[in-house]
Structure 1
Amino acid sequence: MAYKEWGDPHNRRVLVCVHGLTRVSDDFDRLAAELAPVYRVICPDVAGRGRSDPLPAPQHYQVPQYVSDMVTLLARADADTVHWVGTSMGGLIGMALASLPDTPVGRLVLNDVGPAISMQSLERIGSYVGQDLRFDSFEDGARHIREISAPFGPHSEQQWRKLAADVLRRDGQGKWMKHYDLRIAGAFRALTPETVRQAEEASWRAYDAIACPTLLLRGAESDLLLPQTAQAMTQRGPRARLVEFPGVGHAPTLLQDDQVAAVREFLLE
Protein backbone atom coordinates (compact mmCIF):
# COMPACT_ATOMS: atom_id res chain seq x y z
CA MET A 1 0.00 0.00 0.00
CA ALA A 2 1.53 3.27 -1.14
CA TYR A 3 1.08 6.50 0.79
CA LYS A 4 2.08 10.15 0.67
CA GLU A 5 3.52 11.81 3.72
CA TRP A 6 3.66 15.50 4.61
CA GLY A 7 5.33 17.39 7.44
CA ASP A 8 7.87 16.33 10.05
CA PRO A 9 8.18 12.50 10.01
CA HIS A 10 8.96 12.60 13.76
CA ASN A 11 5.86 14.63 14.68
CA ARG A 12 3.72 12.64 17.12
CA ARG A 13 0.59 14.50 15.97
CA VAL A 14 -0.55 12.35 13.07
CA LEU A 15 -3.40 13.02 10.66
CA VAL A 16 -4.56 10.23 8.34
CA CYS A 17 -6.61 11.21 5.27
CA VAL A 18 -8.35 8.47 3.29
CA HIS A 19 -10.07 8.94 -0.06
CA GLY A 20 -13.30 7.70 -1.62
CA LEU A 21 -14.07 4.58 -3.65
CA THR A 22 -12.38 5.44 -6.97
CA ARG A 23 -10.18 8.33 -5.87
CA VAL A 24 -6.57 8.49 -4.62
CA SER A 25 -4.34 10.03 -1.96
CA ASP A 26 -3.68 13.09 -4.12
CA ASP A 27 -7.19 14.30 -3.30
CA PHE A 28 -5.80 15.62 -0.01
CA ASP A 29 -2.89 17.63 -1.42
CA ARG A 30 -4.53 20.96 -0.55
CA LEU A 31 -5.61 19.90 2.95
CA ALA A 32 -2.27 18.20 3.69
CA ALA A 33 -0.26 21.26 2.67
CA GLU A 34 -2.46 23.39 4.91
CA LEU A 35 -2.05 21.15 7.96
CA ALA A 36 1.54 19.89 7.50
CA PRO A 37 2.97 22.64 9.78
CA VAL A 38 0.91 21.13 12.63
CA TYR A 39 0.63 17.44 11.76
CA ARG A 40 2.53 14.63 10.20
CA VAL A 41 -0.03 13.96 7.46
CA ILE A 42 -0.34 10.47 5.95
CA CYS A 43 -2.49 9.97 2.85
CA PRO A 44 -2.67 6.35 1.63
CA ASP A 45 -3.82 4.94 -1.68
CA VAL A 46 -6.25 2.25 -0.53
CA ALA A 47 -5.41 -1.17 -2.00
CA GLY A 48 -6.29 -1.37 -5.68
CA ARG A 49 -6.18 2.40 -6.18
CA GLY A 50 -3.49 4.74 -7.45
CA ARG A 51 0.04 3.52 -6.74
CA SER A 52 -1.02 0.68 -4.41
CA ASP A 53 -1.06 -2.95 -5.50
CA PRO A 54 -4.37 -4.67 -6.26
CA LEU A 55 -5.73 -7.26 -3.88
CA PRO A 56 -5.46 -10.91 -5.00
CA ALA A 57 -9.23 -11.49 -5.19
CA PRO A 58 -12.11 -9.06 -5.83
CA GLN A 59 -14.09 -10.25 -2.80
CA HIS A 60 -11.36 -8.77 -0.58
CA TYR A 61 -12.37 -5.23 -1.55
CA GLN A 62 -14.37 -4.73 1.64
CA VAL A 63 -14.16 -2.36 4.63
CA PRO A 64 -12.85 -5.02 7.08
CA GLN A 65 -9.84 -5.61 4.79
CA TYR A 66 -9.23 -1.87 4.50
CA VAL A 67 -9.38 -1.46 8.28
CA SER A 68 -6.80 -4.23 8.68
CA ASP A 69 -4.58 -2.50 6.14
CA MET A 70 -4.85 0.81 8.00
CA VAL A 71 -3.95 -0.82 11.32
CA THR A 72 -0.79 -2.11 9.64
CA LEU A 73 -0.07 1.33 8.20
CA LEU A 74 -0.41 2.96 11.62
CA ALA A 75 1.97 0.39 13.07
CA ARG A 76 4.49 1.12 10.32
CA ALA A 77 4.12 4.85 11.00
CA ASP A 78 4.57 4.22 14.74
CA ALA A 79 1.40 6.23 15.40
CA ASP A 80 -0.26 5.58 18.76
CA THR A 81 -3.07 8.08 18.27
CA VAL A 82 -4.32 9.80 15.12
CA HIS A 83 -6.86 12.24 13.83
CA TRP A 84 -8.76 10.93 10.81
CA VAL A 85 -10.33 12.55 7.76
CA GLY A 86 -12.25 10.15 5.52
CA THR A 87 -14.18 10.93 2.36
CA SER A 88 -16.99 8.52 1.54
CA MET A 89 -15.32 5.07 1.66
CA GLY A 90 -12.48 6.60 3.69
CA GLY A 91 -15.09 7.74 6.18
CA LEU A 92 -16.53 4.23 6.47
CA ILE A 93 -13.04 2.91 7.18
CA GLY A 94 -12.51 5.61 9.80
CA MET A 95 -15.90 4.95 11.36
CA ALA A 96 -15.12 1.25 11.71
CA LEU A 97 -11.67 1.97 13.16
CA ALA A 98 -13.02 4.60 15.58
CA SER A 99 -15.62 2.16 16.89
CA LEU A 100 -13.05 -0.39 18.07
CA PRO A 101 -12.10 -0.75 21.75
CA ASP A 102 -8.90 1.18 22.49
CA THR A 103 -9.15 2.87 19.10
CA PRO A 104 -6.23 5.07 18.04
CA VAL A 105 -8.65 7.63 16.54
CA GLY A 106 -8.89 10.74 18.72
CA ARG A 107 -10.82 12.99 16.31
CA LEU A 108 -12.88 11.95 13.32
CA VAL A 109 -14.03 13.82 10.22
CA LEU A 110 -16.62 12.01 8.11
CA ASN A 111 -16.90 13.60 4.67
CA ASP A 112 -20.37 12.99 3.22
CA VAL A 113 -20.89 9.48 4.52
CA GLY A 114 -22.74 7.77 7.32
CA PRO A 115 -24.11 4.41 8.44
CA ALA A 116 -27.01 4.57 5.96
CA ILE A 117 -26.22 4.93 2.25
CA SER A 118 -29.04 5.43 -0.24
CA MET A 119 -29.65 2.74 -2.86
CA GLN A 120 -30.00 5.49 -5.47
CA SER A 121 -26.43 6.61 -4.93
CA LEU A 122 -25.14 3.03 -4.89
CA GLU A 123 -26.83 2.39 -8.23
CA ARG A 124 -25.42 5.64 -9.66
CA ILE A 125 -21.87 4.81 -8.59
CA GLY A 126 -22.23 1.19 -9.65
CA SER A 127 -23.24 2.29 -13.15
CA TYR A 128 -19.75 3.57 -13.95
CA VAL A 129 -17.27 2.19 -11.43
CA GLY A 130 -16.50 -1.05 -13.31
CA GLN A 131 -16.50 0.28 -16.86
CA ASP A 132 -13.24 -0.45 -18.69
CA LEU A 133 -13.04 2.83 -20.56
CA ARG A 134 -9.94 3.85 -22.54
CA PHE A 135 -9.44 7.37 -23.88
CA ASP A 136 -7.34 8.50 -26.83
CA SER A 137 -6.24 11.67 -25.06
CA PHE A 138 -5.99 13.07 -21.55
CA GLU A 139 -8.56 15.69 -22.52
CA ASP A 140 -11.10 12.98 -23.42
CA GLY A 141 -10.49 11.25 -20.11
CA ALA A 142 -10.72 14.51 -18.20
CA ARG A 143 -14.10 15.27 -19.79
CA HIS A 144 -15.35 11.88 -18.60
CA ILE A 145 -14.05 12.42 -15.05
CA ARG A 146 -15.68 15.84 -14.97
CA GLU A 147 -18.99 14.37 -16.16
CA ILE A 148 -19.18 11.60 -13.56
CA SER A 149 -17.84 13.97 -10.88
CA ALA A 150 -20.41 16.70 -11.50
CA PRO A 151 -21.88 16.21 -7.99
CA PHE A 152 -18.58 17.55 -6.59
CA GLY A 153 -19.97 21.01 -7.31
CA PRO A 154 -18.39 24.05 -8.96
CA HIS A 155 -14.61 24.03 -9.43
CA SER A 156 -12.13 26.08 -11.41
CA GLU A 157 -10.69 24.71 -14.65
CA GLN A 158 -7.38 24.13 -12.86
CA GLN A 159 -9.12 22.19 -10.09
CA TRP A 160 -11.04 20.03 -12.56
CA ARG A 161 -7.79 19.27 -14.37
CA LYS A 162 -6.15 18.16 -11.13
CA LEU A 163 -9.16 16.04 -10.15
CA ALA A 164 -8.81 14.26 -13.51
CA ALA A 165 -5.00 14.03 -13.52
CA ASP A 166 -5.03 12.39 -10.10
CA VAL A 167 -7.09 9.41 -11.29
CA LEU A 168 -6.03 8.91 -14.92
CA ARG A 169 -2.98 6.98 -16.13
CA ARG A 170 -1.67 5.58 -19.40
CA ASP A 171 -2.00 1.89 -20.24
CA GLY A 172 0.55 -0.10 -22.25
CA GLN A 173 -0.92 1.08 -25.56
CA GLY A 174 -0.78 4.79 -24.78
CA LYS A 175 -4.47 5.08 -23.96
CA TRP A 176 -5.69 6.87 -20.83
CA MET A 177 -7.60 4.86 -18.25
CA LYS A 178 -8.84 5.05 -14.67
CA HIS A 179 -6.19 4.56 -12.00
CA TYR A 180 -7.86 1.75 -10.03
CA ASP A 181 -8.55 -1.97 -10.17
CA LEU A 182 -11.85 -2.34 -12.02
CA ARG A 183 -12.63 -5.42 -9.90
CA ILE A 184 -13.68 -3.14 -7.04
CA ALA A 185 -17.03 -3.07 -8.87
CA GLY A 186 -17.63 -6.67 -7.80
CA ALA A 187 -18.89 -5.59 -4.40
CA PHE A 188 -21.55 -3.43 -6.07
CA ARG A 189 -22.74 -6.25 -8.30
CA ALA A 190 -23.22 -8.44 -5.25
CA LEU A 191 -25.44 -5.93 -3.43
CA THR A 192 -29.04 -6.80 -2.66
CA PRO A 193 -31.59 -4.91 -0.55
CA GLU A 194 -31.04 -7.50 2.19
CA THR A 195 -27.23 -7.17 2.24
CA VAL A 196 -27.56 -3.38 2.22
CA ARG A 197 -29.95 -3.57 5.20
CA GLN A 198 -27.57 -5.83 7.13
CA ALA A 199 -24.61 -3.59 6.39
CA GLU A 200 -26.59 -0.54 7.53
CA GLU A 201 -27.50 -2.18 10.85
CA ALA A 202 -23.86 -3.09 11.46
CA SER A 203 -22.74 0.42 10.52
CA TRP A 204 -25.16 2.04 12.97
CA ARG A 205 -23.85 -0.23 15.73
CA ALA A 206 -20.33 0.87 14.88
CA TYR A 207 -21.33 4.53 14.79
CA ASP A 208 -23.05 4.30 18.16
CA ALA A 209 -19.82 2.90 19.65
CA ILE A 210 -17.75 5.94 18.60
CA ALA A 211 -16.81 8.17 21.52
CA CYS A 212 -14.35 10.65 20.00
CA PRO A 213 -15.34 14.16 18.81
CA THR A 214 -16.76 13.83 15.29
CA LEU A 215 -17.36 16.32 12.50
CA LEU A 216 -19.79 15.41 9.74
CA LEU A 217 -19.45 17.23 6.42
CA ARG A 218 -22.32 17.02 3.94
CA GLY A 219 -22.87 18.30 0.46
CA ALA A 220 -26.31 19.87 0.68
CA GLU A 221 -27.28 18.14 -2.58
CA SER A 222 -25.77 14.75 -1.66
CA ASP A 223 -27.65 11.66 -2.84
CA LEU A 224 -25.46 9.38 -0.69
CA LEU A 225 -25.78 10.96 2.75
CA LEU A 226 -29.45 11.86 3.03
CA PRO A 227 -30.59 14.72 5.31
CA GLN A 228 -32.44 12.42 7.70
CA THR A 229 -29.34 10.26 8.15
CA ALA A 230 -27.15 13.29 8.81
CA GLN A 231 -29.61 14.62 11.39
CA ALA A 232 -29.78 11.23 13.11
CA MET A 233 -25.97 11.25 13.33
CA THR A 234 -26.12 14.49 15.31
CA GLN A 235 -28.45 12.88 17.87
CA ARG A 236 -26.80 9.52 18.56
CA GLY A 237 -23.38 7.93 18.97
CA PRO A 238 -20.75 10.70 19.08
CA ARG A 239 -23.43 13.31 18.23
CA ALA A 240 -21.50 14.62 15.27
CA ARG A 241 -21.26 18.31 14.55
CA LEU A 242 -22.84 18.84 11.11
CA VAL A 243 -21.57 21.30 8.49
CA GLU A 244 -23.31 21.47 5.10
CA PHE A 245 -22.02 23.04 1.89
CA PRO A 246 -24.62 24.51 -0.49
CA GLY A 247 -24.40 23.69 -4.19
CA VAL A 248 -22.37 20.54 -3.53
CA GLY A 249 -23.44 16.90 -3.83
CA HIS A 250 -21.40 13.79 -3.14
CA ALA A 251 -18.81 14.61 -2.09
CA PRO A 252 -17.05 17.83 -1.02
CA THR A 253 -13.54 17.63 -2.49
CA LEU A 254 -11.82 19.57 0.31
CA LEU A 255 -10.26 21.81 -2.30
CA GLN A 256 -12.39 24.86 -1.52
CA ASP A 257 -11.49 27.42 1.14
CA ASP A 258 -14.67 26.98 3.20
CA GLN A 259 -14.33 23.19 3.23
CA VAL A 260 -10.66 23.28 4.27
CA ALA A 261 -11.45 25.87 6.95
CA ALA A 262 -14.19 23.70 8.48
CA VAL A 263 -11.85 20.71 8.78
CA ARG A 264 -8.93 22.80 10.09
CA GLU A 265 -11.06 24.55 12.71
CA PHE A 266 -12.45 21.26 14.03
CA LEU A 267 -9.11 19.42 14.14
CA LEU A 268 -7.19 22.22 15.81
CA GLU A 269 -9.74 23.53 18.29
Structure 2
Amino acid sequence: MPRFAARDGLMLQYEDEGDGLPLLCLAGLTRNSGDFEFLLPHLAGCRVIRMDYRGRGQSDYADDFMRYSIPQEAEDAIALLDHLGIDRAAILGTSRGGLIAMTLALTHHDRLAGVILNDIGPEIDGLGLGRIMDYLGRRPQFDTLDAAAQAL
Protein backbone atom coordinates (compact mmCIF):
# COMPACT_ATOMS: atom_id res chain seq x y z
CA MET A 1 0.00 0.00 0.00
CA PRO A 2 1.43 3.38 -0.91
CA ARG A 3 2.21 5.95 1.75
CA PHE A 4 3.05 9.65 1.71
CA ALA A 5 4.57 12.06 4.20
CA ALA A 6 2.19 14.52 5.82
CA ARG A 7 3.61 18.02 6.31
CA ASP A 8 4.70 17.11 9.85
CA GLY A 9 6.52 14.01 8.57
CA LEU A 10 4.00 11.37 9.68
CA MET A 11 3.59 8.60 7.09
CA LEU A 12 -0.01 8.11 5.98
CA GLN A 13 -1.39 5.24 3.88
CA TYR A 14 -3.60 5.78 0.85
CA GLU A 15 -5.14 3.97 -2.12
CA ASP A 16 -5.41 5.48 -5.61
CA GLU A 17 -7.43 3.57 -8.20
CA GLY A 18 -9.04 4.30 -11.56
CA ASP A 19 -9.00 7.19 -13.99
CA GLY A 20 -11.17 10.24 -14.43
CA LEU A 21 -12.57 12.76 -11.98
CA PRO A 22 -10.57 12.56 -8.73
CA LEU A 23 -12.84 11.59 -5.82
CA LEU A 24 -11.25 11.71 -2.37
CA CYS A 25 -13.15 9.47 0.06
CA LEU A 26 -12.86 10.42 3.74
CA ALA A 27 -14.10 7.92 6.34
CA GLY A 28 -15.71 8.36 9.75
CA LEU A 29 -14.04 8.83 13.14
CA THR A 30 -13.00 5.27 13.94
CA ARG A 31 -13.05 3.99 10.37
CA ASN A 32 -10.51 3.65 7.54
CA SER A 33 -10.08 3.61 3.78
CA GLY A 34 -11.52 0.10 3.50
CA ASP A 35 -15.00 1.50 4.15
CA PHE A 36 -15.20 2.63 0.53
CA GLU A 37 -14.11 -0.66 -1.05
CA PHE A 38 -17.70 -1.60 -1.90
CA LEU A 39 -18.12 1.61 -3.93
CA LEU A 40 -15.26 0.95 -6.34
CA PRO A 41 -17.27 -1.10 -8.88
CA HIS A 42 -19.86 1.69 -9.01
CA LEU A 43 -17.40 4.52 -9.63
CA ALA A 44 -16.13 3.69 -13.11
CA GLY A 45 -14.90 6.92 -14.66
CA CYS A 46 -13.58 8.22 -11.35
CA ARG A 47 -10.13 8.20 -9.87
CA VAL A 48 -10.98 7.00 -6.36
CA ILE A 49 -8.52 8.07 -3.67
CA ARG A 50 -8.88 6.78 -0.13
CA MET A 51 -6.69 7.54 2.84
CA ASP A 52 -6.24 6.25 6.35
CA TYR A 53 -6.14 9.15 8.79
CA ARG A 54 -3.26 9.39 11.21
CA GLY A 55 -3.55 6.68 13.84
CA ARG A 56 -5.97 4.59 11.79
CA GLY A 57 -5.61 1.69 9.39
CA GLN A 58 -2.07 1.44 8.06
CA SER A 59 -1.07 5.05 8.82
CA ASP A 60 1.42 6.02 11.51
CA TYR A 61 0.33 7.20 14.93
CA ALA A 62 1.15 10.71 16.15
CA ASP A 63 2.69 10.99 19.62
CA ASP A 64 0.88 14.24 20.43
CA PHE A 65 -2.91 13.90 20.80
CA MET A 66 -3.25 17.52 19.61
CA ARG A 67 -2.23 16.32 16.15
CA TYR A 68 -5.55 14.44 15.89
CA SER A 69 -7.97 17.16 14.82
CA ILE A 70 -10.27 17.96 11.94
CA PRO A 71 -8.13 20.91 10.76
CA GLN A 72 -5.02 18.69 10.88
CA GLU A 73 -6.76 15.92 8.93
CA ALA A 74 -7.98 18.49 6.38
CA GLU A 75 -4.36 19.56 5.89
CA ASP A 76 -3.39 15.89 5.53
CA ALA A 77 -6.00 15.55 2.77
CA ILE A 78 -4.56 18.57 0.94
CA ALA A 79 -1.05 17.16 1.38
CA LEU A 80 -2.24 13.91 -0.24
CA LEU A 81 -3.75 15.78 -3.19
CA ASP A 82 -0.48 17.72 -3.54
CA HIS A 83 1.52 14.47 -3.35
CA LEU A 84 -0.61 13.04 -6.17
CA GLY A 85 -0.40 16.24 -8.25
CA ILE A 86 -4.17 16.82 -8.10
CA ASP A 87 -5.32 20.44 -8.27
CA ARG A 88 -9.06 19.80 -7.76
CA ALA A 89 -11.01 16.82 -6.45
CA ALA A 90 -14.53 15.99 -5.40
CA ILE A 91 -14.81 14.91 -1.77
CA LEU A 92 -17.03 12.17 -0.35
CA GLY A 93 -17.06 12.58 3.42
CA THR A 94 -18.78 10.22 5.86
CA SER A 95 -19.38 11.48 9.40
CA ARG A 96 -16.00 12.91 10.54
CA GLY A 97 -14.94 12.79 6.89
CA GLY A 98 -17.87 15.11 6.18
CA LEU A 99 -16.62 17.52 8.83
CA ILE A 100 -13.21 17.44 7.16
CA ALA A 101 -14.91 18.05 3.78
CA MET A 102 -16.75 21.08 5.21
CA THR A 103 -13.47 22.38 6.62
CA LEU A 104 -11.87 21.99 3.18
CA ALA A 105 -14.82 23.84 1.61
CA LEU A 106 -14.08 26.72 3.96
CA THR A 107 -10.28 26.72 3.80
CA HIS A 108 -9.48 25.31 0.34
CA HIS A 109 -12.66 25.83 -1.71
CA ASP A 110 -10.58 26.40 -4.85
CA ARG A 111 -9.32 22.80 -4.59
CA LEU A 112 -12.80 21.24 -4.51
CA ALA A 113 -14.80 20.10 -7.54
CA GLY A 114 -17.72 19.23 -5.25
CA VAL A 115 -18.63 17.78 -1.86
CA ILE A 116 -20.86 14.84 -0.95
CA LEU A 117 -21.80 14.60 2.73
CA ASN A 118 -22.89 11.29 4.24
CA ASP A 119 -24.10 10.81 7.83
CA ILE A 120 -23.32 14.41 8.81
CA GLY A 121 -24.89 17.83 8.53
CA PRO A 122 -24.21 21.41 9.53
CA GLU A 123 -25.15 20.75 13.16
CA ILE A 124 -24.03 18.03 15.55
CA ASP A 125 -26.61 17.00 18.10
CA GLY A 126 -25.10 16.89 21.58
CA LEU A 127 -26.96 13.68 22.43
CA GLY A 128 -25.51 11.91 19.40
CA LEU A 129 -22.03 13.15 20.19
CA GLY A 130 -22.45 11.98 23.78
CA ARG A 131 -23.40 8.50 22.56
CA ILE A 132 -20.29 8.35 20.38
CA MET A 133 -18.08 9.44 23.28
CA ASP A 134 -19.71 6.78 25.47
CA TYR A 135 -18.69 3.87 23.23
CA LEU A 136 -15.48 5.26 21.75
CA GLY A 137 -12.48 3.25 22.87
CA ARG A 138 -14.51 0.50 24.50
CA ARG A 139 -14.35 -3.14 23.51
CA PRO A 140 -17.62 -4.68 24.64
CA GLN A 141 -17.61 -8.44 25.15
CA PHE A 142 -20.59 -10.59 24.22
CA ASP A 143 -21.12 -14.29 24.83
CA THR A 144 -23.17 -14.77 21.67
CA LEU A 145 -23.92 -13.08 18.37
CA ASP A 146 -27.52 -12.63 19.54
CA ALA A 147 -26.31 -10.76 22.64
CA ALA A 148 -24.25 -8.45 20.42
CA ALA A 149 -27.25 -7.84 18.16
CA GLN A 150 -29.41 -7.00 21.19
CA ALA A 151 -26.88 -4.39 22.31
CA LEU A 152 -27.28 -2.58 19.01
Q: Normalized against structure 1, the TM-score is what?
A: 0.47
* Equivalent position amino acid for 1:122 in 2: L
Aligned twin of 1:59: 66
Aligned twin of 1:125: 132
Judging changes above 3 Å, is the alpha-carbon distance between structure 1 residues 147 and 114 closer, same or farther for their aligned structure 2 residues?
Answer: farther
Question: Using the alignment, how far apart are the partners of 2:78 and 2:13 within structure 1?
Answer: 14
State the Cα deviation string for residues 120-169 of structure 1 (Å, max 9, x = none): 011100011122x3879xx87xx85x677x5xxxxxxxxxxxxxxxxxxx
Judging changes above 3 Å, is the alpha-carbon distance between structure 1 residues 81 and 135 closer, same or farther for their aligned structure 2 residues?
Answer: same
Instruction: Provide runs of 4+ in structure 1 moved above 6 Å.
Output: none
Question: Using the alignment, how far apart are the partners of 2:36 and 2:48 within structure 1?
Answer: 10
Aligned residues: 140
Post-superposition offset of 1:102: 4.9
Question: Using the alignment, how far apart are the partners of 1:28 and 1:18 within structure 2?
Answer: 9
1:97/1:103 contact within 8 Å kept:
no
The yes-or-no answer on 1:28 pairing with 2:36 is yes
Which of structures 1 and 2 has the bigger CA Rg? Answer: 1
Aligned twin of 1:215: none
1:4 to 15, 25, 31: 15
Aligned twin of 1:108: 115
Judging changes above 3 Å, is the alpha-carbon distance between structure 1 residues 118 and 33 closer, same or farther for their aligned structure 2 residues?
Answer: same
Question: Using the alignment, how far apart are the partners of 2:150 and 2:120 within structure 1?
Answer: 21
1:18/1:87 contact within 8 Å kept:
yes
Post-superposition offset of 1:55: 1.6
* Equivalent position amino acid for 2:16 in 1: E
Judging changes above 3 Å, is the alpha-carbon distance between structure 1 residues 47 and 124 closer, same or farther for their aligned structure 2 residues?
Answer: same
Question: Using the alignment, how far apart are the partners of 2:94 and 2:68 within structure 1?
Answer: 17
Alignment of 1:207-222 (within 5 A): none
Question: Using the alignment, how far apart are the partners of 2:150 and 2:25 within structure 1?
Answer: 25
Aligned twin of 1:19: 27
**RMSD after superposition:** 2.4
Question: Using the alignment, how far apart are the partners of 1:28 and 1:147 within structure 2?
Answer: 27
Judging changes above 3 Å, is the alpha-carbon distance between structure 1 residues 38 and 48 closer, same or farther for their aligned structure 2 residues?
Answer: same
Determine which structure has the larger strand proportion and give its number. Answer: 2
Alignment of 1:247-262 (within 5 A): none
Q: Normalized against structure 2, the TM-score is what?
A: 0.81
Judging changes above 3 Å, is the alpha-carbon distance between structure 1 residues 116 and 103 closer, same or farther for their aligned structure 2 residues?
Answer: same
Post-superposition offset of 1:114: 2.1
* Equivalent position amino acid for 1:19 in 2: A
Identity %: 37
Post-superposition offset of 1:68: 1.0
Question: Using the alignment, how far apart are the partners of 1:79 and 1:20 within structure 2?
Answer: 23
Aligned twin of 1:79: 86
Give the match's secondary structure for 2:100: helix
